[in-house]
Amino acid sequence: MRAKPLTESEKITMKCVWDIGDGARLSRIMTLANDKYGKEWKPQTVSTFLGKLVRKGFVEQYRDGRYFYYRILIDKHTYRTQMIRDDVEFWDDDSLEMYCSELLDKKTFTAKERKQLKSIIADAKD
């Protein structure tokens, strides 16, 4: 299943859900978003973003007692790999060579980070 694009606020909300894991509650998601991302979101704001994530198929909502919880339907790895693929197709006209050259550009990462990336790529060869 192809994940739908997320707005920046939906990404932050979903990242909080991924960080918390299955069974995340609204209050915990709100606290994490506010603390980690410097937001000043109220419960209604986070609830709105969660509703959109439910409609987009990223999470499902369930009730246990008086609280609603959220179960992850699309894992972070699946979403991120799809977004990388979309970036390569759109920004680099489906050219992996262009994408990799951007990753290794001195404006993208420090020399130490580029060395680490090259090592990771070398180790990943089949």
Q: What is the pLDDT of residue 121?
A: 86
Q: What is the pLDDT of residue 32?
A: 98
What top-level class would CATH report for the domain 8-72? mainly alpha
CATH 1.10.10.10 in the chain, residue ranges: 8-72
pLDDT tens, residue by residue, 9-48 = 999 999 999 999 999 999 999 999 999 999 999 999 999 9
According to the model, what pLDDT value does residue 90 have?
A: 95
Name the more confident of 109 and 125: 109
Average pLDDT (119-124) is: 88
Residues facing residue 68 across a β-bridge: 63
pLDDT digits (tens, 9 = 90+) for 45-84: 999 999 999 999 999 999 999 999 999 999 999 999 999 9
Instruction: Please state whether 38 falls in left (phi above 0), alpha (psi between -120 and 50) or beta.
Output: left
Tokens of 90: 């759109």
Instruction: Return the ∠ at Cα 61 (arms to 56 and 65), rounded to 5°.
Output: 170
Q: What pLDDT shows up at residue 2?
A: 80
The structure tokens listed for 33 are: 């978003």
